[in-house]
Amino acid sequence: MMSQEEVRLEYLWVIVVVSMLSAFIVSLVYVGVAKGFWTPEEVVTCDVKKLDEFIEPGIRELEPGVYEVNIVARRWFFEPGSTQPIVLENPRKIIFRITSADYIHGFEIVGTPVNVMIFPGYIAEVEWIPPKNLQGEFLVLCNEYCGIGHSNMRGILIIKR
């Protein structure tokens, strides 16, 4: 038989556990909805041996302010990104299409919600609508350990307004 005090403690712990779980769920929903952190929108397969047929590294302006940025990640650089900076003028929407030529890499634009794993054989498509006043130089990092040159695998994104 539980004493009155023990019953009270049981209820207290139920309340503690339920409120912690609620806090976790609320923070997940907040980060997803308010901050716009989503998983990659779409993943398309490609043949690593014939990459040229699937992706042409570079920037294409699909319509004014809407850019498609095609990137090939390989040990240990992004093309474009590391080979030359990715420069975008007044972007409203950026569609990144990224694949790897050799190994699992990461593509993270530091300080933005863009952060995706890059697998050979798949093209990761990520859509990003940058805030209207966002401009400057952004560091692009590989955040998946990919070998001896990993720590130097970086690129630059420049947004001009």
By CB under 5 A, name the binding residues for Cu ion: 142, 146, 150, 153
Task: Work out how close the CB of 110 gets to Cu ion at its nearest, in angstroms, rounded to a whole number.
Answer: 14
Which CB contacts under 8 angstroms, 24+ apart, belong to 144-150? Answer: 144/104, 144/105, 144/106, 144/117, 144/118, 146/75, 146/76, 146/103, 146/104, 146/105, 147/75, 147/76, 147/103, 149/75, 149/76, 150/76
Pick the closer one to Cu ion by CB: 22 or 152.
152
Pick the closer one to Cu ion by CB: 74 or 150.
150
Task: Work out how close the CB of 52 gets to Cu ion at its nearest, in angstroms, rounded to a whole number.
Answer: 23
Task: Work out how close the CB of 55 gets to Cu ion at its nearest, in angstroms, rounded to a whole number.
Answer: 19
Pick the closer one to Cu ion by CB: 97 or 150.
150
